[in-house]
Structure 1
Amino acid sequence: MLFDEVTDLIDEYSRDELESQLTELKTEQEELAAEYDVSSLTEFREQLAGEDLSAAELRERRNVVETWEAINTELRLVKHALQLYDDVVGLSSPESGSHSTFA
């Protein structure tokens, strides 16, 4: 499943576009960290458990956790796609004899 998602990214986006996505995702992650004055999702969760927050604040923070987790997942996928980009494109090029749709 991971490989399918990574190859879909490679099929859909150029290396430059993937690098831009990586930058955007990293920026989003850094903005969340700055907004909540933490350095990581783990620290944010620890802070969440240690503070006396209302139900509304807890719901908001839970949404932030879900957003942060989604960003982390996308970051991992894009990084994998960039790491494998040349290999996947090389394997699917006309010179390799493969009939894949990757370009």
Structure 2
Amino acid sequence: MLLDEVTDLIAANSRDELEQQLTELKEEREDLMPEFDVRSLEEFRERLASEELSAAELRGRRNVVATWEAINTELGLVKHALHLYDAVVELSSPGTDTSSRFA
């Protein structure tokens, strides 16, 4: 499944587009840190348990956790795609035996 996600990203994006996505995702994650005065998702989660929050506040913070986790997942996929970009494009070029889905 991971490889499918990564190859789909490579098929749909140029290296420059993937690098831009990486930048945007890191910016999104970095924007969460000062907003909640934390340096990591783990620190944010620790505060959930230690602070007295209403049910509505807790739901809102859980939404932030879900967003942060989604950003981290996307970051991982984009990083993998960038690491494998050249190899996948080369293997899928018309000069190889594999089908050319990425050229």
Q: CA deviation at 1:46?
A: 0.3
Among all aligned residue pairs of Structure 1 and Structure 2, give the percentage whose two residues are the same amino acid. Answer: 73
Q: CA deviation at 1:96?
A: 2.2
RMSD: 0.8
Deviation track 1:29-51 (CA, whole Å, cap 9, x = no partner) reads 00011100111100000011110
Structure 1 alignment gaps of length 5 or more: none
**C-alpha distance in structure 2 between counterparts of 1:100 and 1:57, whole Å:** 50
Q: Show the counterpart of 2:19.
A: 19
> Given the two structures, how large is their TM-score scaled by the length of structure 1?
0.97
Q: Show the counterpart of 2:77.
A: 77
Q: CA deviation at 1:95?
A: 2.1
The 5-angstrom pairing of residues 44-83 of structure 1 reads: 44-83=44-83
In structure 2, give the amino acid aligned to 1:62: R
The 5-angstrom pairing of residues 78-93 of structure 1 reads: 78-93=78-93
Is the partner of 1:88 in helix, strand or coil? helix
Structure 2 alignment gaps of length 5 or more: none
In structure 2, give the amino acid aligned to 1:53: L
> Given the two structures, how large is their TM-score scaled by the length of structure 2?
0.97
Following TM superposition, the consecutive aligned residue runs of length 4 or more in structure 1 with deviations greater than 3 angstroms are none
- Number of aligned residues: 103
Deviation track 1:53-85 (CA, whole Å, cap 9, x = no partner) reads 111100000000000000000000000000000
The answer on 1:102 being equivalent to 2:98 is no
**C-alpha distance in structure 2 between counterparts of 1:51 and 1:99, whole Å:** 55
Is the partner of 1:96 in helix, strand or coil? coil
**C-alpha distance in structure 2 between counterparts of 1:63 and 1:12, whole Å:** 28
